[in-house]
Amino acid sequence: MPWVLWIPAGLALALVVLPVAGLLVRTDYARLPALLTSDAALSALRLSLVTALASTIACVVLGVPLAVVLARARGRGVRLVRAVVLLPLVLPPVVGGLALLFLLGRNGFLGYLLDVVAGVSVPFTTTAVVIAQTFVAMPFLVVSLEGALRSGGQRYELVAATLGARPWTVFRRVTVPLLLPALGSGAVLSFARALGEFGATITFAGSLEGVTRTLPLEVYAQAQADVDSAVALALLLIVVAVVVIAVARPKAFDR
Amino acid sequence: MSLHVDVAVTRGRFTLDVTFDVPAGSVLAVLGPNGSGKSTLLQCLAGLLVPDSAAVTLDGRTLTRAPGVQVPVHDRGIGLLAQDPLLLPHLTAVENVAFGPRSQGVRPSRARAQAREWLRRADAAELTGRRPAQLSGGQAQRVAIARALAGGPRALLLDEPLSALDVDAAPAIRGLLRRVLRRTQSAHSGESGDGEVVPDGERCAVLVTHDPLDVLALADDVVVLDAGRIAERGPAKEVLAAPRTAFTARIAGLNLVPGVAAADGLHAPNGRFVAGVPSGDCLPGEPAVAVFAPGAVAVHPAGAPHTGSPRNVVDARVASLEPHGAVIRLRTAGDGGAETGIAADLTPASVAELGLEPGSAVRLEVKAASVAVHPAA
């Protein structure tokens, strides 16, 4: 390794570490307990954890079948579908939130249908938060699962079939167990992404305290009113993020 | 009760077009170099590939009739033993073996009991609780064999089952396969084990290989594939010992001397002793075959003094000389225990130097280390 690499590497590290350090320096530790246990902060934390967990579950339930279909289905259309699935990765979240609003909002065609048929309005509810978070987080899960499925190949599935296992048995007893490591890291990544989601949430779900105002939205709201409070909440998000990395430690972070 | 195969597939510029039957209880070897269509054939039989036109029937049941009928992989009753054992890494050895019975609806406790029995038959009883990551290549292949048989296949496909093993493990696994594939119904009818779904005597097998030794040890009959077509077919020993086409001779031509195994070689019926190296599963006193390649035979003028290390020396008369690619294949008149004579490969320069022609007297020498002694199929 040429030693010159140390210079940009050090800069990159500083770019990550220094802002966090700045936040730590700026924190008002005397008021920290009071700021973190305020009603607004606690309700935002609770909402964040609940919605991020719900969207992670939604990502797994919907993302695993999607990844298997993308990895195993043959045909020209699959390529196009894969590109579409990856869209939320590159799309600005605000645009995603706007798109969701025009689909599920009162004037969107699905939203109108839901309103007329079931009397349900999705935008600006906790459900909207979960949908927005799932929208931005699912590609993380799908990409890591599809990579694992492709690199693993179909040899184990084939051998299971020659032993008389029907397709559903093969999926349950071979495909899913072999996917578990990738599923773990994919789910952690999705959870972290959902937890940090801001743009799509504020556009599609708004910022109603206790209903749609998750931690990042609360940080943003406080940054304009009480900077100390915003910093304290930011610190909380950092702690949650560190805990996520430490507890679940996706393979991607290990190597 | 047999496997009937009639398959034609075109993939790009390659065409596979073969027809053969495998009688119940017998093993057919498909011998051919890489690219001859062996893998394509296996995929058609396993149900992974839909041929352009085909009829595959097993025990009278149509598995593939293209276009139209294609029984899915899990419902064909065809087991697969591949080069790579492909044990499911998240299951223990016994769980791997129990996978087949479990998938077919056998209760867990009974499936485990069957799995233990199959592991015992594959000499792998002590591996029961191990994970695939803790097994050596040979051990993993033993478990894979037990698993393939526990699935109760009516036909077994073997795809180069020994080629991924190192040279120390291969003979033992070859011996195990011999035992499970070739034991006849009558010999073991008393031992109708718990895991018996298809009686051993009725199961047929297709062995795909590029190694003539596998054919010799495991198969009854052989078809030789050349670029998607059958170049030659017949009883394994006859085809290997006396190839009728130059192609077969090049990939499979071997000298075979049948007889009775000894500790350091083989006694041929004509009283001659062939010094050689017995394989691991070869027991003295049992029927065996001494095998050596034509390239391992040195040719000297008749009456030349016997010097150096070769322990097998035969005086013979040249019957024929034919070009085989870059070398000349000399065949002697029937003698030396091999009914068809002994084949030896020489360069054109040596043929000229020795002044060889049909009828010439020669002395053949083979090092004992070049002669392998295998149990006779």
Tell me if B80 sits within 8 A of B148, measured CB to CB.
yes
In chain B, the N- to C-terminal Cα span, in Å, equals 22
Which pLDDT score is estimated for B172? 84
Is residue A74 less than 8 Å (CB to CB) from chain B?
no
Q: Which fold has domain B2-247?
A: Rossmann fold (3.40.50)
- pLDDT tens for residues B204-238? 999 998 888 888 888 999 999 888 889 889 998 88
Domain assignments of chain A as residue spans, ordered by start: 53-211
Q: Which residues of B touch A167 (CB under 8 A)?
A: 72, 74
Which residues have a Cβ under 8 Å from the Cβ of A246 and sit 6 or more positions away? none
Rg (CA), chain A: 21
- The pLDDT of residue A249 is 64
Taking alpha carbons only, the member of B197, B152, B160 closest to residue B177 is: B160
Confidence of residue B340 (pLDDT cuts 50, 70, 90): low
CB contacts of A177 in chain B (<8 Å) are: 88, 90
Contacts of B135 (CB under 8 A, 6+ apart): B87, B93, B127, B143
Average pLDDT over residues B257-268: 87
Percentage above 70 pLDDT, chain B: 92
Give the tokens for residue A177.
């167990």
* Residue B305: predicted pLDDT: 77
pLDDT for A167-216, tens place per residue? 999 999 999 999 998 898 889 889 999 999 999 999 999 999 889 999 99
Q: Residues of chain B whose C-beta is under 8 A from some C-beta in A? A: 46, 48, 72-80, 82, 84, 86, 88-90, 99-100, 103-104, 147-148, 150-153
* Structural class in CATH, domain A53-211: mainly alpha
Count of Cβ atoms closer than 10 Å to residue A13 Cβ: 10
**Quick check: B355 and B304 in contact, CB under 8 A?**
no
**How close does chain B come to A154, measured CA to CA in Å?**
11
Structure tokens belonging to residue B195: 């895991």
A164 touches chain B (CB under 8 A): yes
**pLDDT computed for residue B335 by the predictor:** 56
| pLDDT beyond 70 at B336 | no
Contact B2, B59 (CB under 8 A): yes
Amino acid at B246: A
Q: How many CB atoms neighbour CB A113 within 10 A? A: 12
Chain-centre distance for alpha carbon B5 = 19
Give B306 or A128, the one with higher predicted confidence: A128
* Cα–Cα nearest to A70, from A141, A158, A137: A141
Measure CB to CB from residue B73 to each of A162, A178, A180 and give the nearest one: A162
Q: Is B250 helix (H, G, I), strand (E, B) or coil?
A: helix
- Nearest alpha carbon to residue B256 among B182, B339, B334, B175: B339
CATH of domain B254-375: 2.40.50.100
DSSP B338: B
CB A191 within 8 A of CB A52: yes
User: Structure tokens of B367?
Assistant: 């090092």
Burial class of residue B100, CB neighbours in 10 A (0-12, 13-18, 19+): buried
ipTM score for this prediction: 0.77
More confident residue, B254 or B95: B95
Q: How far apart are CA B237 and CA B257, in angstroms?
A: 10
Backbone angles phi, psi at B152, to 5 degrees: 65, 45
User: In this complex, do B74 and A174 lie within 8 Å of one another by their Cβ atoms?
Assistant: no
Name the minimum distance, in Å, from the CA of B212 to any CA of chain A.
Answer: 26
Residue B141 CB coordination number (10 Å): 29
In Å, how far is A73's CA from the nearest CA of chain B?
A: 14
Identify whether the C-beta of residue B269 lies closer than 8 Å to the C-beta of residue B289: no
What pLDDT was estimated at residue B113?
Answer: 94
B48 vs A156, A158, A163: nearest CB: A158
Nearest CA distance, B122 vs chain A (angstrom): 17
pLDDT, one tens digit per residue, over B22-55 is: 998 899 999 988 888 888 898 889 888 888 888 8
- For residue B114, name the pLDDT band (cuts at 50, 70, 90): very high
Amino acid residing at B161: P
A152 touches chain B (CB under 8 A): no
Question: What are the domain boundaries of chain B?
Answer: 2-247, 254-375
Closest CA in chain B for residue A180? B90
Q: One-letter amino acid identity for A253? A: F
Nearest to B78 among A162, A165, A167 (CB): A162
* Low-confidence residues in chain A, pLDDT < 50: 255
Name every chain B residue with its beta carbon within 8 A of the beta carbon of A170. Answer: 74
For an interface test with A, give the residue of B43, B76, B103, B159 to mutate (most A CBs within 10 A): B103
Q: Is B333 within 8 Å of B316 (Cβ atoms)?
A: yes
CA distance A114 to B240: 75
Please give the distance of CA A150 from its chain centroid, rounded to a whole number: 23
Q: How many helices (H) and strands (E) does chain B have?
A: 10, 22
Smallest Cβ–Cβ distance between A165 and the set B103, B150, B152 belongs to B103
**B158 pLDDT tier (thresholds 50, 70, 90):** very high
* Angstrom distance (rounded) from CA B26 to CA B227: 25
- Average pLDDT score over residue span B301-318: 80
* Banded pLDDT at B199 (limits 50, 70, 90): low
Q: Do A160 and B103 touch (CB under 8 A)?
A: yes
Q: Considering CB atoms only, which of B78, B88, B148 is closest to A174? A: B88
Q: How far is CA B5 from CA A37, B47, B65, B153, in A?
A: 76, 12, 10, 17
d(CA A131, CA A128): 5
Distance CA B125, CA B142 (A): 10
pLDDT-based confidence at residue B195 (cuts at 50, 70, 90): very low
Q: Which of A155, A169, A178 sits opposite B90 (nearest CB)?
A: A178
The nearest alpha carbon in chain B to A167 belongs to B74
**What value does the mean pLDDT of chain B take?**
84
> Is pLDDT of B189 > 70?
no
